[in-house]
Every structure is written in structure tokens, then in C-alpha cells.
Amino acid sequence: MNMRDNRSSKGVCLDSFEKDSIAEKRNELYLDVFDPQLFRKNAEIVISRLEKYLADSSIRGLALTNPSVLLQAAKEMMTEEHEVIASLDEEKLGAIIDLYIKTGIQVHSPGSMGRQFSGVIPLAGIFDLISSIVNQPSSFYEAGQLPNVVERIMADEFNRFIGWEPGRFTMVTTSGGSLANLTALLAARNDRFPRIWSEGMCALERQSPPAIAVSEDAHYSVCRAVGILGIGEEQIVRLPINQERQICIEKVRPALEEAAERGMKVFCIVASAGTTSVGAFDPIDELAEIAEEKNIWLHIDGAHGGSLLVSDKLRHKLKGIEKADSFAWDAHKMMFVPAPCTLLFYKNKEKSYGAFHQDASYVFEKEPDIYTEFDSAGKNFECTKRPLIMNLWVLWALYGKALFADKIEYLCQLTRHAYQILKEEPDFETLHQPEANILCFRYLPSNLRKSVFPDFQVAIRNRIREEGKFFISKVDIDGVGALRVVFMNHQIDVDHFRMLLYEIRKIGHELLKEAM
Ligand SMILES: *Cc1c(COP(=O)(O)O)cnc(C)c1O
């Protein structure tokens, strides 16, 4: 026997003391942490607290906590026992749940009007729990069979509203709209500049540098993607917007021509179907015509407003969507499922595989069989990926389209109503006609002097947040601060909006008084 064999045989040989202690440890684990009955008991504690939370219809927004106070509170809930597995302290479990709930934006309350994530449909949350327990990361069919099949089903369901050729298009889920935008832009770049993937930017040699054209109001993730792709933010061509903050179609050709004169090669136009700031819809149909004529990839960032497709009354906002090359759609916004859940569609299935080219024998097969044909890993960046589609599918499967369409229509209607209310109030300024469920405006009392109080809107917004009753957001419109509300919850009605206006006036007066 040589030295090496000696060592390895010693390594696997356990003495009786070690054997005993391993068995003991395993028993301990099974007795407590993994005990199914204990799971049930814990789940009941959680469910009953969540039930109370959902039943609370009081008006509340966000109680912003000092982070150092919260840090301390969280630390105090941690066990000091680390030598043996601590026994579960149910009281602490309850306290952690309460703290978690209390410190969040109260998405289920009518006071929450500030962000684009949903007050989720509770059944979707229950499904999220199942996904966590059965743990089926879904980039590969073998690990997530139902999720991968269901992705195909949902792709076909939603394609009814898009209208691509069945069998030719494809859809993949991603962890958020930002990643979907990055993935689509990568597919576009690799399609138009195929050598960059392997050779890097030096493949371009003396070619014009790749550039993309986006609205002045595009989401920051698009510009970030341009940076990540090595295209460079300086190669972004900004397309001017009109009064309604949509891409101004008359100015697109001149902007593209000017870019070409400056030696840029625009290979992709990104249009928004619902901008983040005001929910404006760019003219997809007309942009598609220009894109086709110039052989430019058209990507639609429908992270926010893609959901309007499910409504017969609102679908026209995305007229021309079938002409797009790719389309990102966040279901965790207006489809009311837990974040993240994003669907990225491609008109042409082949192009979706262009985003990534990888060989990895431990996961990828050279020749797909009936199983691996359903893998999504070739199309998404994530390796271990949450089965994102399940929450959405189960709602769609059990309740059907109307659950979403009705809620979306109500929220868009409510937003138009709120806009009408503002129009009649002389001390409020409207900034756009709402196309979806986002509304931006300013409070301008007659005794406000902008030169004295330039960030008045932001100050109002922050004070509202401090008081905790309502939660709204802010945005710069033409470089000047504005208040922004996003209606994501059907429990909000016009009276809640009127209460918000009352609150804004009250706080505005207080702020002006304090500034004097
Ligand atoms: C929210 C949003 C994004 C980003 O999506 P995430 O899911 O938050 O990553 C991108 N574009 C638009 C228009 C959005 O509204």
C-alpha cells in the first residue's frame, strides 16, 4: 500500500464515537426541523397572521423605520444558541412575522398607491409557498417538469393577444423586467453582430459602433443593459417625446439619420408599453414600420403595461405588438402575482437562443430529446431559476382571464377618474392624460413661491411617507419634481384619492408654514 491509499482509507474509516454522534445529529434534525407536523403547526401560525393582515382594511401606506432601530429589533430575535440546534421559539417566530409585515409597504391597503408591485392575489402567494417546499428550480425540464410545460401553455395563452405564428414564437420567464430587457438586447446584439459573443468588441474592427435608440423616458434598466453589453451609454440615441411623454414618431427618422451620419449603427429600438414615470405607451405600430424599413430589431419594454393585452378594451394601446421582435412583460406588476415573474417573448424562436451560447456538458445536451427540448436554460441567464410561471398559471387556470382584465380595467378607469378630479382643482396641476394606472401631478397652492421652495413636491411626498397613512412616490417630469400615484389595488376608490388630496393639502400648508 502506498502513502496515498493509506491516507484515503483512513479518511473514510469512522470510529464508533463518530458513528454515534452522526446518528444522534440526524435524529435531532428529523425530530424537530424537518418534522411534518411541526411544519403544519408553523404554517398555521403564519397563515393565521397573514389572514389578519389581509383582513385589515385600514388605510395605511408605509411606516418607514429608522434602519438602525430595525437592525437592532431584528438582532434581538436571533438565538444565541449555536452549539446545539436551538428549539423553536414560537413567540419569536410570531414576532418575526409581525415585524416583516409591519415594516413593508402595505400593498393590500388602499393607502398604498406608490409603487408598481401588486397587492397580490393571495392564492398566488399560497402557490409560492408550494414552490418553496417542493423546490423545483425550472431552467431544466428534469428539475421542474410542470413549470416547463406550463410555460408553453402560458406562452400560447398570451399569444392569443399578440398574434404571432404558432410554433414559431417563444417565451421564457426571467427574474424581473430588467433582466428580460438585458436578455432581449443581448439577443438583438448577437443577431446583428454575431461575432461579438466570441471575439468581444474587437470583432467590430473598423465597423461603426453598435447603438440603440430609446425614448427619453425609457426605464433605467435599458440604459444599464447597454452599459453591461459593452455598447456604452454614449451609444444611446435618445428619441424625443411629445407632451404625453410618448416617443414622438415624426422625430424618429431624423434622429436615426443623424445617428447614422455620426457613424453609429442603430441595431435596436426600444419602445415602452407603459413608461415607468407616467404609464405612456409609445406608438408601436408606427415604430415597427420604421424598424422594418431600416432592418432594426424592435424590442418592447412592456414591463408595466404589457398586462393591458388581456383586456379587450385596453389592448389597442399595444397596437402593432405582433410586429415587434421581442417583448418583455412583468406579471408581478399588473397581473397581481408575487415578484418576480417576468415573461420575455420573441417573435422568432431561433433568435431567443442567440442571447447565450454555452457548452456545459453537466447540463446541456448536444442533441435535445423529448425532455431537454423543454429546458429553458438555453434562453435564460439564470441557472437555478424559480418556477416563476406557476403562480400566474394557477390563477389563470382556475379563474380565467376575467380576473385580470376586470381588475386592470377598473384600475385604469379609476386613474382617469382621479385625473378628472385633479383637473377641477385649481391648486393642482396635471401633467399628462393617464393611459394606464399611473398618474403624476403637482400640488401648487397659490402662496407657494417656487424659488423659495424648489423641491416642494418631494418634501410633501416624504412627509406623507413619514406619517404612514398613504404611500405615494415622486418623479421628475421635465426636470421638476412631481407627485406620482400608481393604483395597483382594486380596494382603492375615488374617496381614497380624495382623502389623499386632503392629506397633500394639509401637509403642504404645514410645510409652507414651517418654511416661513
Ligand atoms: C418596472 C419596469 C422595469 C423593470 O422591471 P423589474 O421587474 O423591476 O426589473 C422595466 N421597464 C419598465 C417600463 C418598468 O416599469
**Ligand 1 touching residue 299 (CB < 6 A):** no
Whether residue 468 contacts residue 451, with contact meaning beta carbons closer than 8 Å, is answered with: no
Residue 419: partners with Cβ closer than 8 Å, 6 or more residues away: 430, 433, 434, 439
The answer to whether the CB of 239 falls within 8 A of the CB of 214 is: yes
Distance 357 CA to ligand 1 centre (A): 26
Coil, strand or helix at 11: helix
Query: Which pTM was predicted?
Result: 0.93
Q: Count CB neighbours of 250 within 10 A.
A: 10
pLDDT in tens, the chain (516 residues): 444 444 444 455 666 666 667 777 666 666 678 889 999 999 999 999 999 999 999 999 998 899 999 999 999 999 999 988 888 899 999 999 999 999 999 999 999 999 998 889 999 999 999 999 999 999 999 999 999 999 999 999 999 999 999 999 999 999 999 999 999 999 999 999 999 999 998 898 888 899 999 999 999 999 999 999 999 999 999 999 999 999 999 999 999 999 999 999 999 999 999 999 999 999 999 999 999 999 999 999 999 999 999 999 999 999 999 999 999 999 999 999 999 999 999 999 999 888 887 776 766 777 889 999 999 999 999 999 999 999 999 999 999 999 999 999 999 999 999 999 999 999 999 999 999 999 999 999 999 987 778 899 999 999 999 999 999 999 999 999 999 999 999 999 999 999 999 999 999 999 999 987
Question: Residue 454 and residue 441: Cα distance in Å, rounded?
Answer: 15
Of the CA atoms within 13 Å of residue 275, those in its CB half-sphere come to: 27
3-state secondary structure of 429: strand
Q: List the Cα angle 384/389/390 in 5-degree steps.
A: 100
Nearest Cα residue to 314 out of 418, 410, 428: 410
Looking at residue 8, its pLDDT comes to 44
d(C-alpha 277, C-alpha 303), whole Å: 12
Q: Minimal CA–CA distance to 448: which of 512, 501, 503?
A: 512
User: What is the Cα 91 distance to its own chain's centre?
Assistant: 34
Query: How many A from CA of 391 to the centre of ligand 1?
Result: 19
Rounded distance from Cα 330 to ligand 1 centre (Å):
7
> Got the DSSP string for 293-342?
HTT-EEEEE-TTGGGGGG-TTTGGGGTTGGG-SEEEEEHHHHT--PSP-E
Phi and psi at residue 210, to the nearest 5°: -65, 145
All three cell numbers of 3, joined, read: 502513502
> 227: CA distance to ligand 1 center in Å?
17
- State whether the beta carbon of 176 lies less than 6 angstroms from ligand 1: yes
Give the span between the Cα atoms of 103 and 74, in whole angstroms.
11
How many angstroms separate the alpha carbon of residue 399 from the centre of ligand 1?
A: 26
Q: Is 303's C-beta closer than 6 angstroms to any atom of ligand 1?
A: yes
Per-residue pLDDT of 419-455, as tens digits, reads: 999 999 999 999 999 999 999 999 999 999 877 788 9
Which tens digits make up the pLDDT trace of 240-297? 999 999 999 999 999 999 999 999 999 999 999 999 999 999 999 999 999 999 999 9
Number of Cβ atoms within 10 Å of the Cβ of 92: 14
118 Cβ closer than 6 Å to some ligand 1 atom: no
Of ligand 1's atoms, which has the minimum distance to the CA of residue 302? 13
Instruction: Identify the CA nearest to 297 among candidates 250, 265, 343.
Output: 265
Strand pairing report for 480-486 and 473-477:
antiparallel
Q: Is 387 helix (H, G, I), strand (E, B) or coil?
A: coil
